[in-house]
Structure 1
Amino acid sequence: MAVYTEVTDEELRAFIADYAIGEVISCKGIAEGVENSNYLLVTTEGPYILTLYEKRVNPADLPFFLGLMRHLADRGITCPLPVAARDGEALRVLAGRPAVIVTFLTGMWPRRILPEHCAALGAALARLHLAGADYAVPRRNSLSLEGWQALVTATADGADGVKPGLKDILADELAALSALWPGRDGRPGLPQGIIHADLFPDNVFFRNGALSGLIDFYFACSDMLAYDLAICLNAWCFEPDGALNVTKSRLLLVNYAKVRPLTAAEVAALPLLARGSALRFLLTRLYDWLNTPPGALVKRKDPLEYLHKLRFHQQARSLADYGLAPEDLT
């Protein structure tokens, strides 16, 4: 979450007048995250989240995201629900941007990741994958190999200014992954479905020690389910010093597999998928590092954190490097 587009008081009042959610008490920008402009909107009816979708989001994808949240909520996943205006439509325009109000989830995301957080996340991710299995609307993952290639090209001129030699590191890793990625060039694929694709700690809420909800579905897409698990491995299981915490990784993976057992092919592919996940977030962070506009209310994230994670996965040869044996997950 972040704020790129400022909303005037006059614009906000006119926008809220189309909803039956009471009168505005306050509307404060949220600086966390990097993608869209987000505000904590408080009305006489309670708190909501107001999101304005920025240029990286394709407006044509918004019905997919909003429909997915409704679909998951109907199947027991606690996530925000789009709020319809008086005309029955949830998707509207504010300050020249597509905009939506969604319900507010109680809880807080964990600033210090504990092993029990990883255990709860693993089970919740598996439940999300099962709940999304009958969501019939597909959406291609725009941040898979083709998207990575576009980002490698877009960051080529600035990469070495962030770290000498980074341009070649990115190009070499993309070539290596392209030659190995499941489902490419006749290689066997892995089980597919709807994935969250961005389930970082700030998108997972806990309350009284229990996982209370999942948010920010604006990267959700159709892709390999185990790739979503690899994203979480990178986001949750490395310590601030860059070391993998094998207790956390084991709890994440084992608790996922208790709800949705992994195939042998998925287990074998996890180190490769973790490499791909590390490259994806290295590239998007690098792009944002080089292109965040001056004055935007957003915290840029260090791309080199994901270079360290990528190097770990490049050296991993089996699940033993993650504290596991294959039979733990199947």
Structure 2
Amino acid sequence: MAVYTEVSAEDIESFVAEYGIGEVLSFKGIAEGVENSNYLLQTDQGSFILTLYEKRVDADDLPFFLGLMEHLAGRGISCPVPLHARDGKALRQLCGRPAALVTFLEGLWPRRVHTFHCAALGGAMAQMHLAGADFALKRANALSVAGWRPLLESCRARADEVKPGLAAALDAELTQLEAAWPKDLPAGVIHADLFPDNVFFRHERLSGLIDFYFACNDYFVYDLAICLNAWCFEHDNAFNVTKARLLLQSYRRERALSGEELAALPLLARGSALRFLLTRLYDWLNHPEGAYVKPKDPLEYWKKLQFHQGVRGPGAYGLDL
């Protein structure tokens, strides 16, 4: 989350008046994340999140995102729920941007990941995958393997400014992944961005999942691969096999993983590392002026990619097969 579009008090009050959620008491920008402009809004009836969707988000995808949150909440998944205005619409316009109000979730995201966080996450992710099985809308993953080559080409000329030889190394890795990427694994709705700042906890209990704006249809095990990278490496980039084991075991208690999914996990973990390396590299080289948020270091994911390149099977992630 971040703030790219400034909104006046008058604009906020006019927008909120269409929802019947009381008088606006305060609002402030949330300076985390990279995609949209977000405000924490307080009225005399409660707290809400106001999101203005920036140009990087395809407006045609917004019914999928908002509809998915409503669907998952209706299936018992704790996540933000879009509010509908008096005209019945959840998606409206504010300051020339598509905008929506969603409910506020209580909790804090873990600044330091512990083993109990990983255990809770695995089960919650599996429940989310199962809950999304009957969601009618579809959205292809624009940031899966077919989307990585254009990203690499857009960064190639300056990639070596970040690390000498990086462009050639990424090209070689992507060529291997394109040739070996699996074609027929169990798939459905995935979150695709379940980083620690998108998972809330109250004490040691997971209280909710947020930020579904990368959600799409893809392999379930790819969602797990993303979380191995986001949750199971320490600050010195050492892989924590205990965290990985707890994450995967708790997932499997809710949804079984096939032998094909387990065999594909190391390759998908490499792919996940490359995907976030490339998007971070693009943001690093094309940082928008005036944004409150600083771009994240792409080389963090270079180190994670190197770890997965050395993995020979899912046992390296702590699983007893």
Counterpart CA distance in 1 for 2:96 and 2:158 is 30
Counterpart CA distance in 2 for 1:269 and 1:146 is 17
Residue 79 of structure 1 and its aligned partner are, at CA, apart by 0.3
Q: Which residue of 2 aligns with 1:206?
A: 201
Counterpart CA distance in 2 for 1:314 and 1:295 is 37
1:131 is paired with a residue whose SS is helix
User: What is the correspondence of 1:319-330 to structure 2 with a 5 Å cutoff?
Assistant: 319-326=314-321
Q: What is the identity, as a one-letter code, of the residue corresponding to 1:53?
A: Y
Counterpart CA distance in 2 for 1:320 and 1:264 is 12
Counterpart CA distance in 2 for 1:125 and 1:15 is 34
Counterpart CA distance in 2 for 1:145 and 1:209 is 35
2:292 is paired with a residue whose SS is coil
Q: Which residue of 2 aligns with 1:15?
A: 15
Residue 325 of structure 1 and its aligned partner are, at CA, apart by 2.6
Counterpart CA distance in 2 for 1:2 and 1:314 is 33
- The question of 1:221 aligning with 2:216 is answered yes
- The question of 1:35 aligning with 2:30 is answered no
Is the CA contact 1:84–1:90 (under 8 Å) kept in the aligned structure 2?
yes
Return the TM-score normalized by structure 1: 0.95
1:261 is paired with a residue whose SS is coil
- The question of 1:143 aligning with 2:138 is answered no
2:11 is paired with a residue whose SS is helix
Residue 154 of structure 1 and its aligned partner are, at CA, apart by 1.2
User: What is the correspondence of 1:51-130 to structure 2 with a 5 Å cutoff?
Assistant: 51-130=51-130
Counterpart CA distance in 2 for 1:37 and 1:194 is 25
1:42 is paired with a residue whose SS is strand
Q: What is the identity, as a one-letter code, of the residue corresponding to 2:301?
A: Y
Counterpart CA distance in 2 for 1:158 and 1:22 is 50
Is the CA contact 1:31–1:299 (under 8 Å) kept in the aligned structure 2?
no
Residue 176 of structure 1 and its aligned partner are, at CA, apart by 0.7
Q: What is the identity, as a one-letter code, of the residue corresponding to 2:291?
A: A
CA deviation map 1:246-300 (0-9, x unaligned): 0000000011011101000000010000000000100111111111212101132
Q: What is the identity, as a one-letter code, of the residue corresponding to 1:280?
A: R
Q: What is the identity, as a one-letter code, of the residue corresponding to 1:111?
A: R
Counterpart CA distance in 1 for 2:145 and 2:262 is 21
Residue 12 of structure 1 and its aligned partner are, at CA, apart by 1.7
Counterpart CA distance in 2 for 1:5 and 1:86 is 25
Q: Which residue of 2 aligns with 1:303?
A: 298
User: What is the correspondence of 1:175-186 to structure 2 with a 5 Å cutoff?
Assistant: 175-183=175-183
Counterpart CA distance in 2 for 1:26 and 1:299 is 25
Q: What is the identity, as a one-letter code, of the residue corresponding to 2:105?
A: L
1:155 is paired with a residue whose SS is helix
Residue 159 of structure 1 and its aligned partner are, at CA, apart by 1.0
Q: Which residue of 2 aligns with 1:174?
A: 174
CA deviation map 1:217-238 (0-9, x unaligned): 0000000000001001110000
Q: Which residue of 2 aligns with 1:186?
A: none
- The question of 1:194 aligning with 2:193 is answered no
Q: Which residue of 2 aligns with 1:318?
A: 313
Structure 2: 5+ residue stretches without partners:
none
Residue 34 of structure 1 and its aligned partner are, at CA, apart by 0.9
Counterpart CA distance in 2 for 1:256 and 1:13 is 43
Return the TM-score normalized by structure 2: 0.98
Counterpart CA distance in 1 for 2:233 and 2:199 is 17
Q: What is the identity, as a one-letter code, of the residue corresponding to 1:18?
A: E
Counterpart CA distance in 2 for 1:307 and 1:71 is 36
Is the CA contact 1:19–1:85 (under 8 Å) kept in the aligned structure 2?
yes
Q: How many residues align?
A: 321
- The question of 1:270 aligning with 2:265 is answered yes
1:20 is paired with a residue whose SS is coil
Residue 208 of structure 1 and its aligned partner are, at CA, apart by 2.6
Residue 24 of structure 1 and its aligned partner are, at CA, apart by 1.3
Q: Which residue of 1 aligns with 2:289?
A: 294
User: What is the correspondence of 1:242-253 to structure 2 with a 5 Å cutoff?
Assistant: 242-253=237-248
2:270 is paired with a residue whose SS is helix
Counterpart CA distance in 2 for 1:295 and 1:164 is 29
Give aligned-pair identity as a percent. 67
Counterpart CA distance in 1 for 2:19 and 2:138 is 30
CA deviation map 1:292-316 (0-9, x unaligned): 2121011321111000000000111
CA deviation map 1:84-126 (0-9, x unaligned): 1111111011111110000000010111100010000000000
2:266 is paired with a residue whose SS is helix
Residue 13 of structure 1 and its aligned partner are, at CA, apart by 2.1
Q: What is the identity, as a one-letter code, of the residue corresponding to 2:128?
A: L
1:277 is paired with a residue whose SS is helix
Q: Which residue of 2 aligns with 1:24?
A: 24
Residue 9 of structure 1 and its aligned partner are, at CA, apart by 2.1
